[in-house]
Amino acid sequence: MGFALWLVLFYRPQTCFAASPEEQFVKLFVSKAEIDRSSPWQLEEVSQQASLGVVVAGGKILTTALTIANGTLIEMQVFGANQRHEVEVEFADFEVNLALLRPKDPTVALKGLLPVVLGEDLEIDDQVEIFRPRDLYQLTKMSGSFQEVGIYTAVTSYYGLVAYLFKVQQTGLGWAEPIMKKGQLVALASGQDTQFVHGIPSDVIKHFLSDHPGGAYRGFPSIGLQLAPLIDPNLRKLLKADNVGNGIRISKVFPSSPFVGRVDQNDVLLEIDGFPISEHGYFQHPKWGKVYLKHLVTRKFAGDSMRLKIQRAGQPLEVEAVLNRFISNDFPVVGYRTKQQEPHLIFGGLLFQELSQDFLKQWGKNWRSYAPTDLVYAIENQNEPEKIPGRRIIFLSKVLPDQFNRGYEKLKYHIVESINDRPVTSIQGVRDALRFPTFSNGQQFARIKLILEGGEIILSYNKLQTAHQRIARTYAVTSKDSFFDPQEATRPVTEPNK
């Protein structure tokens, strides 16, 4: 009923009369308290960001997922109005950086607003209008021209999908500004690289919106293959692919791929769903020309099937599989954290965390150069989706100096191999491993083995509770859950002094 009512309220054919941008877009105010990645029991200073939302059918507001990530209070304001209204996140897909918001009181909040109409795929050189707020009353319109499409990783995930590139004169764009053509939404700005604004195309937005109603969101899929250009004639001969002029090499089949057992490393991928694939991995798009094959995947829904034509050792093969949903957080290094959480555990002042991109981004834009080499290497080289997701890379991020951990104060950024001889692949795994102390000379110890040259840390369980209380006071760690509870150890911790 609700859906139908909103259709009545908001639907107004474009042909009747055009709505003004101020009637279709709202200003969003998002208060954020990001987690402090280096002291994950506390939050960063509160900040507030302003952004734009687009009114879409159903009484919802569309914006980027980045806009609302870690938001503590999200409010909207209609241009020209004085009142702010609280909105909630109805649904967000961080893989594609899109979010749908719902005003708490839509009848008041959206009064007088009109939903945008989603446009069709652009053609190269199309002229567009980009809107951003001038003040609380009106929008500024800028012009841009559509130059090309590319495959880019969404800023909130590892997922690569097609993005429009618009040439503009202005800077400071890329914060969910609506991009319109002839009164229709053709893209939502998601970033800016010098003079090019990146936009999430209407095609992706339609995919997101059409998937959402009904509750069971299927999501965007992946084929789970790593591909490498096959331009080297020597390699082509070696793979017996010199009899065909196209096709890209499958350089790795991830264990999570639906094509495991159907395709192998060094197979040559010739076609996807009938589209011939070039040696660089492009197919011919009717409007945009050469587009990377990933676009053929992202247009599908998880659960759809896909047909591949491959060539193995000179022999053609056709294979088909049902695509899985791509989930960045199935990777060992978490792609994004959507809520104020950073899994961690403190044992005797040693702070263990799960390695994430967010943690390394503390080193700034060039974190790949300046963050600790071993951690960056782990992200770049040991971060592939696994058959059974959930494995994380655990590292000792720092030591909160205390008499209990003296001698170890300088340890930081070491990846942990095992604790008490148990491999650890999650913070829960750290907690579990710590429940089984190592016994030596009649006492309980934690043996924490670090990879590479790190060596082995030995800490006692004796007086651990007292140490935790002291550390909690000294470093203002207010969350009890941040600490390993010595009561969880398999035997009662003896406190000889008591």
Partner 1 sequence: MGYAKRFWSGWVFWGLLGMLSLIFLGETRSEGSGLNLARKSVFKINVNTSIPSFTEPWRRQPDGGGSGTGFYIGQNRILTNAHVVAHGSYITVLRDGDSRPVPSVVTFIAHDCDLAILEPRDPEFFRDVREMEFGSVPRLQSPVVTVGFPTGGEQLSITQGVVSRISFRRYVHDGVSDHLLIQVDSAINPGNSGGPVLQGGVVVGVAFQAYTQAENTGYIIPTPVIQRFLKDIEDGVYDGHPVDGITIMENAMENAANAAFLGLNKGDGGVKISHVARWAPSFGILQPGDVLLEIDQQPIGVDGKVTFQGERVSFRVPYDLKQVGGAVEFRINRDGVFKKVVVSLTKRPRFPEQGFVFARHPKYFVYGGLVFTQLNRSFLKNWGEKWYSEAPLNLRFITFNWPFLRDTENAQDILVLAKLLPDQINTYSRSNVDGIVLSVDKKPVRSIEDLVELLEKGESEFAVIDFLGSDDPTVISRSEVKLRGPLINKKYGVVPDRWLFGPEIDGTRDTSSSEMGPNNKITKDTISKDTIHPSQPQGGKDGI
Interface with partner 1, residue 313, by CB under 8 A: no
C-beta closer to partner 1: residue 238 or 322: 238
Interface with partner 1, residue 433, by CB under 8 A: no
For the bound state, the minimum distance from the C-beta of residue 116 to partner 1, rounded and expressed in Å, comes to: 43
Residues in the chain: 498
Binding mask 342-381 for partner 1 (x = CB under 8 A): --------------------------xxx-xxx-xx--xx
The sign of the torsion formed by the CA atoms of 30, 31, 35, 36 equals positive
Least Cα distance to 190 among 203, 177, 181 occurs for 177
C-beta closer to partner 1: residue 89 or 235: 235
Residue 468, CA distances (Å) to 41, 50, 336, 349 in order: 14, 40, 29, 7
Q: Which stretch binds partner 1 (CB under 8 A): 116-124, 135-143, 317-325, 435-443?
A: 435-443
Q: Which stretch binds partner 1 (CB under 8 A): 308-316, 327-335, 338-346, 454-462?
A: 454-462
For the bound state, the minimum distance from the C-beta of residue 237 to partner 1, rounded and expressed in Å, comes to: 7
Least Cα distance to 248 among 291, 297, 281, 224 occurs for 281
Among 15, 169, 194, 234, binds partner 1 (CB under 8 A): 234
CA atoms within a 13 Å half-sphere pointing along the CA-CB vector of 400: 25
Among 238, 313, 322, 476, binds partner 1 (CB under 8 A): 238
Phi and psi, residue 434, nearest 5°: -70, -15
For the bound state, the minimum distance from the C-beta of residue 218 to partner 1, rounded and expressed in Å, comes to: 30
Interface with partner 1, residue 479, by CB under 8 A: no
In the numeric block, the tokens 């503009």 are attached to: 168
Interface with partner 1, residue 127, by CB under 8 A: no
Q: Which stretch binds partner 1 (CB under 8 A): 10-18, 19-27, 210-218, 458-466?
A: 458-466
* CA–CA gap between residue 347 and residue 457 (Å, rounded): 12
Is residue 311 a contact partner of residue 247, using CB atoms and an 8 Å limit? yes
**Tokens standing for residue 251:** 């350089």
Binding mask 322-341 for partner 1 (x = CB under 8 A): --------------------
Q: Among residue numbers 98 through 117, which ones bind partner 1 (CB under 8 A)?
A: none
In sequence order, what are the residues at sequence separation of 6 or more whose Cβ sits closer than 8 angstroms to the Cβ of residue 278? 246, 247, 248, 290
Among 440, 469, 474, 479, binds partner 1 (CB under 8 A): 440
For the bound state, the minimum distance from the C-beta of residue 489 to partner 1, rounded and expressed in Å, comes to: 15
Among 233, 245, 261, 390, binds partner 1 (CB under 8 A): 233
Q: Which stretch binds partner 1 (CB under 8 A): 1-9, 39-47, 66-74, 229-237?
A: 229-237
Interface with partner 1, residue 150, by CB under 8 A: no
Binding mask 291-310 for partner 1 (x = CB under 8 A): --------------------
Interface with partner 1, residue 401, by CB under 8 A: no
Q: Which residues of 346-385 are buried (b: 16+ CB within 10 A; e: fewer)?
A: bbbbbbbbbbbbbbbeeeeeebeeebbeebbebbeeebeb
For the bound state, the minimum distance from the C-beta of residue 305 to partner 1, rounded and expressed in Å, comes to: 26
Among 88, 456, 488, 495, binds partner 1 (CB under 8 A): 456
For the bound state, the minimum distance from the C-beta of residue 480 to partner 1, rounded and expressed in Å, comes to: 24
Among 18, 108, 231, 313, binds partner 1 (CB under 8 A): 231
C-beta closer to partner 1: residue 107 or 382: 382
C-beta closer to partner 1: residue 284 or 369: 369
Among 359, 408, 475, 484, binds partner 1 (CB under 8 A): 408
Interface with partner 1, residue 407, by CB under 8 A: yes
Count the residues of the shown chain that bind partner 1, applying the rule CB under 8 A: 43
Interface with partner 1, residue 245, by CB under 8 A: no
Among 43, 114, 235, 260, binds partner 1 (CB under 8 A): 235
Among 284, 458, 481, 494, binds partner 1 (CB under 8 A): 458
C-beta closer to partner 1: residue 240 or 422: 240
**Contact residues: partner 1, CB under 8 A:** 226, 228, 231-235, 237-238, 251-252, 265, 368-370, 372-374, 376-377, 380-381, 405-410, 440-441, 443, 445, 450-460
